[in-house]
Structure 1
Amino acid sequence: MSKKIFSAQDWENAPSEILQTHTPDIVPICNKVKDDVESVVREIEQRGIDIAPNYKDWVELGFALVDGLGENGREYYHRISRFYPTYQREGTDKQYTHCLQSKGQGITIRSFFHLANQAGISLAPSNKEHLSILPNIQNGKTGKWIKSEEELPAFPECVFEHLPPFLNEVVNNSISVDDRDTILIGAIVCLSVCFHNVCGVYDERIVYPNLYLFVVADAGMGKGALALCRELVVPINRNLHELSKRLEQEYKEAMAAYIKSKKDSGVTMPAEPPMRMLVIPANSSASSFLKILGDNDGIGLLFESEGDTLSQTLKSDYGNYSDVLRKAFHHELVSLSRRKDREYCEVPNPRVSVALAGTPEQVRRLIPDAENGLMSRFCFYIIRFKRGIRNVFATSDISQSKNAMFKLLGDKFCYLHEEFVRQGNYSFFLPSDLQEHFIEYLSRVNEECCDEVDNKMQGVVRRMGLIAYRIMMVLTTIRHLENVHRNSSSHDKTEQLVCHEFDYSIAMSICETLLYHAVFIYRNLSGNQSKRFNSASQETGIYARRNTLYNMLPETFTKKDYDAQVSSLGENGSTANKWIEAFIKDGKLCRIEQGKYRKIF
């Protein structure tokens, strides 16, 4: 659908009926926005800078200009893009048209200014009225990753355009944006435990697709959608239970025969059968949890719709297996020893997935502070508060209920999964061009998050990279499921699953959204926000760190002195070099001569 273009005057005079019924298809052209874009583009042209050197930034640039200027941003897109070495007008035109026709993607005009600022373009506003459209510029800093609860993004529409067929069926049962997002990430996490025969190599270590998730929302805001995702693995779990019952019955019969003929020295005592299950209750003791994992070859899904169940269990002496979860995330050997009954459990290759839902306070009880290792291991998705009541009588047909639909999907997945497991083992591979893009993107995001929040965000970003890789594994495997019955490969040969560009793009888009939510949780747990999740800090970590560095500097210093202080604080050298110019612009510093500076008080 083409968007209707309104001028600033048209927008101000538009009848209320138009504003109420056509807002999603209207792009207001704000003269102030256009003036600021024009000013920045002129500087880009004067300096000949390519502010979007990689594909993802270039696409984001298009959506940003569409958000702020609609069709009027097309020529700006060409003016900026032509500094890319292989610029083509036709391809650029086609990409901008695609951005116009897509549904927003959650990217705003602020992204344009952020990209320009990252490339070294000055964003000092010509007057205070223009300040509001710039990307959170305060005291010379930008805050791309720091959002209030109301600003936290949902998954962009592009995520849902090329999902694997089975996942597409799953999310089609959603009733809202948050419901769709919760069901998608919940399904990916719940299904991740089922692909224990798929592995890849990440950071020189063998990894499996297992993921940890915490859906965060106030009471009654829709986090219950996660419970539907459990239905996808219930048939597999039920089959394991039935197997356990048969083994238990065989054990009882063998034990009775042993007791009856114990005088016969040739009869050996039967071994106790394993307790087979896929879904493990969080309300388990540490020894029980490890025993179940051991009985299931290290495979299990810890699922709870109330995060308190797990947090209360972890606080008890008998149930404190927080360290087990931290180790299991990286498939490290987990073990437990109890003096009583000379009990010892060891699981050499745990492949555990975790799916939890709870309130903001329940997050705090499970993860008391940002230093806790569980914080960076979890994906967080925050469902924002929305006032209103939905139609709870949309259907009265039991067969059309969400429970019934997800049970059918669970049966279908179980059928596909049986043949998939029977085929043998699989290795996951990410093509080299996508590997290069992945490293480039993760490096840039790491710099941004460390600059805007603090250096400890590096641990969160690094693990988000691993999470993205695992999501790619899940998406690639689910896409393969539909074709597994036509696969005639040998059962004793490991088959390679190559990541499709669609699945790479989907995983990266999902993880970028999750990273915004993780930053929000991290800052809350670090004490940078008030107790409630929806209050925003007035200054970002980078500003406080710059002040710390400035206060450590002597009245007069050289570049060598400055670099030594930067190193002592553990700051990134290239980032800190930009701060000198910021100090000069703020009137805190003056340059005496080349490489020599004096503080201004």
Structure 2
Amino acid sequence: MEKKTFNPLEWMDNSNQQQQYTEQNYQPVTDDNSEVEKVIQNIEANHIDIAPNYNDWINIGFAFADEFGESGRSLFHRVSQYYSGYNTKECDKQFDNCLKSKGQGVSLKTFFFLAKQAGVSIVTQSNDQYNAKSSNHKSSKATPVQEYQEEEPIKEIMPTFPKFLYPELPEYLQQVVDVATSDEERDILLLGSLAAISACFPKLYGIYDGKKVFSNLFLFITAQASAGKGRLVHCRQLVNPIHKELREEAKLHKQHFELEMAEYNANKGKVEGVEKPAKPPEKMLFIPANNSSTGAYQLLGDSDGKGLIFETEGDTLAHAFKSDYGNYSDGFRKAFHHETISYYRRTDREFVDIESPCLSTVLSGTPKQVSALIPSAENGLFSRFIFYFMNVKPVWKNVFASTTDNGLDDYFENLGNQFYELHKLLKSNGDFQFYLTADQQEQFNQFFSEIQVKYLNLQGMDYMATIRRLGLIAFRFCMLFSALRILETGDTSNKLICEERDFQTALAMIKVLVKHSSKVFGELPQEETKPTRMNRKEKFLYALPRNFNRQKYLEVAKKLNIPAKTAEGYITGFIKSNLIHREQQDTYTNLSIEENKDVEDAKD
């Protein structure tokens, strides 16, 4: 271990000025053992070396020795273990020296400060208290102590779909996105339309991982208020004619039922063997999210197990899931994989199975509404969604600019009528089976294998379910693109082969969406017993330029408050995972941004 043995004279000479700041200016809420334990758990979860230099390391030893005595030894080891030259014997020897020198005036405040400086989340006193203490301290010293200021963090801009993707879309989708006035708006119109129409292909299926799957998608568009996600509502109009058709059908059934009931009531007790007519199903496409669990299942069952939840306020569904009577989260998750949903209808004393449910979902909301719906990734709900995190642009939008003659409502109503014609055509035919070619299957497996390796390194095992379900989502994208091509070709044969352009478009979309999902995943609330997910490693990787050297990556690490030793460890891990390539000594290439190289070249 390269950290040398403690020298009291050297420590007193070198640490005085830093000690003044760390002890007096940085104040944690509490200094008790439970707070230290929480911070160390956070350090262990993120493998952070909070004391890369000698003075910081021995100060932590003094703090633990002074506060906890011999019981602080294990804490010292736990904090020291992420130093590249960590050695248990030398660490023990150092702590022995700290115990002997007990009373040097170093407290736990130093430990909290160093942890905070290394990027570990620490709860501190209010800014007013902090500023007051800082002001009092400076006025009492002849030489002002330099205040600690964090560098402004690197702003994270989420990527949009590459421009080359849009001319390759089916013509119908090109019409959908043609009215967009920004890259983000175009993306959400594409995703919203795909998710909405995914509920309307009951006879389209493919075989994925040995199972029969349909085209249904779950989508959540998230952004701060007034960011522009409201455009998503127009995607509802694309399938509104189908909903109206089902409601008209239900209306006719109800009228017929009322006539039968009138006849039944007239003959009841007069004619032997008269049976009471059964209530007709409430057929509909749009299933309201604000529903009881039995109500939601019954509406889905009445519509032959097919439906679409379309809510522009994501907390509508969140509130339903949190209520005792409305928690149908279990059935909601099952529907993604078309697993049988079973429920008991108390009124009719009837046990009901909905086999192969086909439910699609379109939601939008703020990041807090995402957290309200999905408080953690553990139950699998998160991984079933496509997430798109919109960038907020503080620029006033020209609200009078128009890309249509009669407004967007008329424009999307017309597109809805076009899709309705396709829906009727496919409904009148038999089943359609979708296929990828052998070459596409090979590319598909290779693509997702590489994505999985990359994000297991960045996000850990908790993110693996998201990667694997993005594979199914990509397959469903291809299904939908192929079905929409029928509007162009008129070919209604029962075997759909994916065109290469549609296959490549789906993969290009996934390259972007995996980053959006990772962004939302990193912001999910954590259980109190677990350390906060820092996700610094991923931010560090994406902040690196395409070509860089050691000096450059240390500059980036400093901006993100990542210690140099930790950054070196990240670089080593990235190289092993093929996220970064070392061309030669002190020359690196960031392969994680290679996928955008063609786009950047086109812009240049």
- TM-score interval, normalised by the smaller of the two chains: 0.5 to 0.7
Amino acid at match of 1:440: Q
* Deviations, residues 75-97 of structure 1 (Å, cap 9, x unaligned): xxxxxxxxxxxxxxxxxxxxxxx
Q: Which residue of 1 aligns with 2:509?
A: 510
* SS of residue matched to 1:155: coil
* Partner-residue secondary structure (3-state), 2:444: helix
- Is 1:274 paired with 2:273? no
Distance 1:523 1:183 in 2: 25
Deviations 1:194-224 (CA, angstroms, capped at 9, x unpaired): 0111010000111000000000011111111
Q: Secondary structure at the match of 2:377?
A: coil
Q: Which residue in the other structure is 2:390 paired with?
A: 383
Q: Distance in 1 between matches of 2:290 and 2:196?
A: 18
Secondary structure at the aligned position of 2:352 is classed as strand
Q: Give the Å deviation of 1:338.
A: 6.1
One-letter amino acid of the structure 1 residue matched with residue 384 of structure 2: R
How far 1:261 moved relative to its partner? Answer: 2.1
Per the alignment, do residues 443 and 267 of structure 1 end up closer, same or farther by CA in structure 2, a change over 3 Å counting? Answer: same
Q: Does 1:454 pair with 2:469?
A: no
CA contact 1:450–1:457 (8 Å) conserved in 2: yes
Give 2:364's aligned residue: 357
In the alignment, is the contact (CA less than 8 A) between 1:454 and 1:542 conserved in 2? Answer: no
User: In the alignment, which residue of structure 2 is the partner of 1:473?
Assistant: 479
Return the match for 1:222 from 215, 218, 228.
228
Structure of greater Rg:
2
The AA in structure 2 aligned to 1:236 is I
Taking structure 1 as reference, are residues 321 and 245 closer, same or farther at Cα in structure 2, changes over 3 Å only? same
When residues 181 and 541 of structure 1 are mapped into structure 2, their CA distance, relative to the original with a 3 A threshold, is: closer
Aligned partners of 2:539 and 2:180: how far apart in 1? 38
The question of whether the paired residues in 1 share the 8 Å contact of 2:308 and 2:360 is answered with yes
Q: Is the 8 A contact 2:214 2:358 kept in 1?
A: yes
Q: Distance in 1 between matches of 2:481 and 2:302?
A: 28
Whole-angstrom distance in 2 between the partners of 1:216 and 1:168 = 23
1:344 is displaced (CA, Å) by 3.1
Going from structure 1 to structure 2, the CA distance change for 1:201 and 1:388 (only over 3 Å counts) comes to same
TM-score by length of 2: 0.62
C-alpha displacement of 1:395:
4.5
Paired residue for 2:353?
346
2:173 equivalent among 134, 159, 167: 167
| Matching residue's letter, 1:241 | R
Match of 2:267 among 261, 264, 268: 261
Residue 368 of structure 1 is matched in structure 2 by: 375
TM-score of the superposed pair, with normalisation by structure 1: 0.62
How far apart are the structure 2 equivalents of 1:185 and 1:179? Answer: 10
The AA in structure 2 aligned to 1:250 is: H
1:287 to 1:218, Cα distance in 2 relative to 1, 3 A? same
1:85-484 to structure 2, matched below 5 A, reads 150-262=156-268, 263-265=270-272, 267-337=274-344, 342-395=349-402, 400-484=406-490
Q: 1:197, 1:425 within 8 Å by CA — same for their partners in 2?
A: yes
| TM-aligned CA deviation for residue 272 of structure 1 | 1.1
Corresponding letter in the other structure for 2:445:
I
Q: CA deviation at 1:539?
A: 3.7
Aligned to 1:499: 498
Identity of aligned residues (%): 40
Give 1:251's aligned amino acid: F
- Aligned to 1:279, the other structure's residue is in SS state coil
2-structure distance, mates of 1:170, 1:505: 20
Distance 1:169 1:371, change over 3 A: same
Give the 3 Å change call, closer, same or farther, for CA 340–279 of structure 1 in structure 2.
closer
Cα distance change of structure 1 residues 228 and 574 upon mapping to structure 2, 3 Å threshold: closer
In 2, Cα distance between equivalents of 1:577 and 1:364 = 31
Q: Which residue type is aligned with residue 343 of structure 2?
A: L
CA distance in 2, matches of 1:542, 1:505: 28
Deviation sequence 1:501-537 (CA, Å, 0-9, x none): 0110111111111100011111112659xxxx9x985
Q: Provide the C-alpha distance between the structure 2 equivalents of 1:396 and 1:175, rounded to a whole number of angstroms.
A: 8
- Deviations 1:253-288 (Å, cap 9, x if unpaired)? 011112212322354322211111001111111101
Bigger RCO of structures 1 and 2 (CA < 8 A, at least 6 apart):
2
Aligned residue identity for 1:414:
Y
Q: Distance in 1 between matches of 2:419 and 2:347?
A: 43
Decide whether aligned partners of structure 1 residues 258 and 405 sit closer, same or farther in structure 2, where only a CA change above 3 A counts.
Answer: same
- Shift, 1:370, TM fit: 2.3
Cα root mean square deviation, aligned: 3.1
Q: Tell me, what secondary structure is at the counterpart of 1:151? A: coil
Q: Whole-Å Cα distance in 2 between the matches of residues 387 and 178 of structure 1?
A: 14
Asked whether the 8 Å contact 2:453–2:577 carries over to 1, the reply is no
Q: Deviations 1:562-597 (Å, cap 9, x if unpaired)?
A: xxxxxxxxxxx9997999x99xx99xxxxxxxxxxx
Per-residue CA deviations over 1:90-114 (Å, capped at 9, x if unaligned) read xxxxxxxxxxxxxxxxxxxxxxxxx
Q: CA deviation at 1:396?
A: 11
Q: Which amino acid aligns with 1:302?
A: I
Q: Distance in 2 between matches of 1:507 and 1:274?
A: 37
Structure 1 residues 174, 578: closer, same or farther in 2, change over 3 A?
closer
Contact 2:389–2:516, Cα closer than 8 Å, also in 1: yes
Structure 1 position 343, deviation (Å): 4.8
Q: Tell me the CA shift for residue 294 of structure 1.
A: 0.7
Task: Name the SS for the 2:523 alignment partner.
Answer: helix
Cα distance between partner residues in 2 of 1:269 and 1:510: 54
**Equivalent residue, structure 1, for 2:557:** none
Structure 1 residue identity aligned to 2:436: L
Q: How does 1:569-584 map to 2 (within 5 A)?
A: none
Task: Give the residue type in structure 2 aligned to 1:269.
Answer: K
CA distance in 1, matches of 2:174, 2:515: 24
Q: Which residue does the alignment assign to 1:565?
A: none
CA contact (8 A) 2:377 2:462 kept: no
The separation in 2 between residues aligned to 1:193 and 1:291, in whole angstroms, is 17
- Letter in structure 2 aligned against 1:496: K
1:455, CA displacement in angstroms? 2.2
Structure 1 residues 502 and 344: CA distance shift in structure 2, 3 A: same
Residues 453 and 541, structure 1, Cα contact 8 Å, conserved in 2:
no
Residue deviations 1:110-157, cap 9 Å, x none? xxxxxxxxxxxxxxxxxxxxxxxxxxxx9xxxxxxxx97633110111
Q: Which string of whole-angstrom CA distances, capped at 9 and with x for unpartnered residues, describes residues 38-87 of structure 1?
A: xxxxxxxxxxxxxxxxxxxxxxxxxxxxxxxxxxxxxxxxxxxxxxxxxx
- 1: CA distance, partners of 2:155 / 2:193: 24
Tell me the CA shift for residue 540 of structure 1.
Answer: 4.8
Separation (CA, whole Å) in 1 of partners of 2:348 and 2:304: 23
- Paired letter, 2:487: L
> In structure 1, how many angstroms separate the alpha carbons of the residues matched to 2:420 and 2:439?
34
Q: Which runs of 5+ in 2 are unaligned?
A: 1-117, 119-152, 542-572, 587-604
Equivalent pair of 2:264/2:275 in contact (CA under 8 Å): yes
Task: Quickly say closer, same or farther: Cα 1:340–1:250, change in 2 above 3 A.
Answer: closer
